[in-house]
Copies of this chain bind each other. A is one copy, B any other.
Amino acid sequence: MPSPEFFQVLPAADALALYDQHWQPQTALETIATAAALDRILAADVRSPEEVPAFRKSTVDGYAVRGSDTFGASQSLPAFLRLRGELRMGAAPRDDIDAGDALLIHTGGMLPASADAVVMLEYTQTINEGEIEILRAAAPGENVIQAGEDVAAGALVLQGRHRLRPQDIGGMLAVGISEVEVISRPRVGILSCGDELTPPEASLTPGMVRDINAYTLSALAEKHGAEPMRLGIAADAIADYRQRAEAGFAVCDILLLSAGSSVSARDYTRDVINGLGEPGILQHGLATKPGKPTIIAVCENQPVIGLPGNPVSALLVARQLLPHLIARFLGRKPELPATSKARLSQRIASVTGREDWLPIKLTRAADGETLAEPVFGKSNLIFTLIDAHGLLRIPLNTGGYDAGSLVDIERF
């Protein structure tokens, strides 16, 4: 007869520390189009191959002049300059200007070699087709940005391990960097095991359930910047389970096993993980609910998580571990989940020696306050999490929460 399992459980934070101790991520790099690099992580520092701006340009609409020609000009005593035409955008000036000349120029236009300032339109007046009045002096350099003033050639533009935002993509393209080296997304392999599991597109025969862990875990991995790989369903037989796990392990960076409900599948999971390489299983059992039967392992410098088969447990346990592993692979700190303050609708008891994660539905009270209501489900099916907006964490060894407590709800 199978005996119930007894083991020393470990807080989730300690389990993450075990991964950190036993795993040195070997990140892979890839070169992709800068335009397609939103949210990707830079492999290394990026320096500008060019200076910005590439030429001396006007920062306003006005007249390019030699500043010295405007000295002393005022409303009552304007300077008179010859108008030498209009600068065409997108081209170098056709001719230089001489002393006493002015050239109509637009914002971003390239200054002729001998011009050193731009007088804004509002401080000028047209006399006739060929002559303008300057009503205010312009010092050399006024309304002009020098070549290289914004970014020197070789200057650091972005630091390695930075997550690319819209402006970062724009900045790199501005200096001609149209391809960029980023850290490859970690491949998260997901293998389910159990004779009762069938692919979700199949119709059910009596006793079978659809395997959804492969899909909820794929979506979680994708949300956190990884590339999920669904490895299928292993039969509850050691040979098939081992073969599929080994094949998946060989092509992924992080392996998730979600063991079926039978006692043999759970036993096989231990054997299969230990067969993947040294050091193997580091810890069996987390001091969290859900999470007790979780297996923490590193095999041949590759993290492996043995997850419970129950879909709610599998997803809530993976949330505690997987984002940390993905972030570490990418050389980043895990991002803190968004939280909302809410007032608890009822007392929540806690159990000593265990951290609890409770699905919470948020509702709006008559007075506009946000209420947090626990979602309980007898069978712990995935629908408990569909009804919930987030999770309440009840930390280790606390007295739980009284009804009416103001708590932080971690949003899905």
Residues of A near any B CB (own CB < 8 A) = 1-2, 4, 34-35, 38-39, 50, 52-55, 59, 61, 88-92, 106-110, 121-122, 126, 145, 149-151, 157-158, 165-171, 173-174, 176, 178, 194-198, 200-201, 203-210, 212-213, 215-220, 222-223, 236, 260-263, 309-311, 315, 338, 377-379, 381-383, 385-386, 412
Contacts and interface: CB of A to CB of B under 8 A. Distances in A.
Contact of A262 (B39, B59, B106, B379): B106
Given A61-B2, A173-B200, A379 B53 contact: yes
A106 B126 CA distance: 93
A379 B149 contact: yes
Nearest to A411: B165
Contacts of A122: 4
B263 A216 contact: no
Given A166-B223, A167-B385, A195-B90, A379 B178 contact: no
A219 B309 CA distance: 38
**How many copies of this chain does the complex contain?**
2
Nearest to A222: B38
A64 to B, nearest CB: 13
A224 to B, nearest CB: 10
Nearest to A381: B150
A1 B173 contact: no
B90 A382 contact: no
Contact of A174 (B50, B218, B378, B382): B382
Contacts of A174: 200, 209-210, 212, 311, 381-383
Contacts of A309: 108
**Interface majority SS (helix, strand, loop, mixed), chain A:** loop
A261 B165 contact: no
Nearest to A312: B167
Nearest to A412: B165
A2 B120 CA distance: 12
Given A2-B121, A167-B386, 6 more contacts: A38-B223, A52-B383, A55-B206, A61-B261, A150-B383, A171-B212
24 contacts: A2-B121, A34-B215, A35-B200, A35-B215, A39-B223, A53-B381, A55-B206, A61-B261, A88-B195, A89-B196, A90-B207, A90-B208, A92-B207, A107-B261, A108-B196, A109-B207, A149-B378, A149-B379, A157-B386, A166-B218, A166-B223, A169-B216, A170-B315, A173-B212
B218 A168 contact: no
A217 B171 CA distance: 13
B176 A203 contact: yes
A170 B90 contact: no
Contact of A204 (B176, B207, B379): B176
A114 B59 CA distance: 86
A4 B379 contact: no
Closest 3 CB pairs of A and B: A166-B219, A90-B196, A173-B200
B381 A52 contact: yes
A194 B89 contact: yes
A149 B208 CA distance: 17
Contact of A170 (B92, B203, B212, B236): B212
A236 B121 contact: no
A88 B2 CA distance: 15
